[in-house]
Amino acid sequence: DAEITQSPRHKITETGRQVTLACHQTWNHNNMFWYRQDLGHGLRLIHYSYGVQDTNKGEVSDGYSVSRSNTEDLPLTLESAASSQTSVYFCASSEKLAGPYEQYFGPGTRLTVT
Amino acid sequence: GQNIDQPTEMTATEGAIVQINCTYQTSGFNGLFWYQQHAGEAPTFLSYNVLDGLEEKGRFSSFLSRSKGYSYLLLKELQMKDSASYLCAVLDSNYQLIWGAGTKLIIKP
């Protein structure tokens, strides 16, 4: 069965360190997204990609970067981790943007920056 | 700015019916989604509305009024496993999903 996975599931890091969160999907979807979820807020879009070599900034992209070298993977890098980046991070993918095409979510990565 | 409002928390009784409302103001509209999210888990898709009216799917129904910027999710015959957060999201003119903060639904026996 197709799936979307994230690793690690939990991560504790120190302020100023670089951190990379992995996202891998076997749906063969062109569209991939990274969100963060914090109490009291809806999911907020960090970066997204519509295909290989395509990346775009979302609503809360400062301090984050992504790269898309193949269809399956969209790693998210925190260049210099800050305490404000403590959050739960979800990766998602979808077949199409328009119409009743749901986004499929990975299980999430809980990141704590100390 | 773009805004989606839904109640923070609701409580209902097992076996009853509950309606979760969502109002939105977004830059364009290309559809509205409802997702369910159990604590500590990923969101999962429940329903999609793009035209006015009611979409029924088993115990769950979703309604949309585009002129009023309003939707609701109706859950019937509530079960304990329905205890979760319910997320409303609108696909805007750029085909990006704008998410509400979610409604935590507590089911009591």
- Residues from chain A contacting residue B48 (CB–CB below 8 Å): 100, 102
Write out pLDDT tens, residues A43-61.
Answer: 999 999 999 999 999 999 9
A vs B, Cβ pairs < 8 A, gives 47
Can you tell me the distance from the alpha carbon of A34 to that of B63, in angstroms, rounded to the nearest whole number?
28
Residues of A whose CB is below 8 A from B4? 42
Residue A98 is predicted with a pLDDT of 84
Q: Residue A2 pLDDT more than 80? A: yes
Residues A102 and B9: their CA atoms lie apart, in Å, by: 25
State whether B95 and A97 contact (CB < 8 Å).
Answer: yes
> Residue B79 pLDDT > 80, yes or no?
yes
Phi/psi for A45 (5° steps) reads -80, 130
Cβ distance of A40 and B101 shorter than 8 Å? yes
Question: Got the DSSP string for A5-38?
Answer: EEE-SEEEE-TT--EEEEEEESS--SEEEEEEE-
pLDDT digits (tens, 9 = 90+) for A75-114: 999 999 999 999 999 999 999 988 889 999 999 999 999 9
Structure confidence by residue, pLDDT tens digits, B35-60? 999 999 999 999 999 999 999 999 99
Q: Which residues in chain A have Cβ-Cβ distances shorter than 8 Å to B87? A: 42-43
Show the tokens assigned to B105. Answer: 């639904």
Q: Do B100 and A90 touch (CB under 8 A)?
A: no
Burial class (CB in 10 A: 0-12, 13-18, 19+), B77: exposed
Instruction: Give the minimum alpha-carbon distance from A77 to chain B in angstroms, rounded to a whole number.
Output: 21
Task: Classify strands B9-13 and B60-65 as parallel, antiparallel or unpaired.
Answer: unpaired
Q: Is B96 helix (H, G, I), strand (E, B) or coil?
A: coil
Distance from C-alpha of B77 to C-alpha of A69, rounded to nearest angstrom: 47
Contact B96 A58 (CB under 8 A): yes
pLDDT of residue B64: 98
Residues 6 or more apart whose CB falls under 8 angstroms from that of B29 comprise B66, B90, B91, B92, B93
pLDDT over threshold 80, residue A73: yes
Please check the confidence at residue B2 and state whether its pLDDT lies above 90.
Answer: no
Map tokens 């994230």 to a residue. Answer: A6
- What is the reported pLDDT for A95? 94
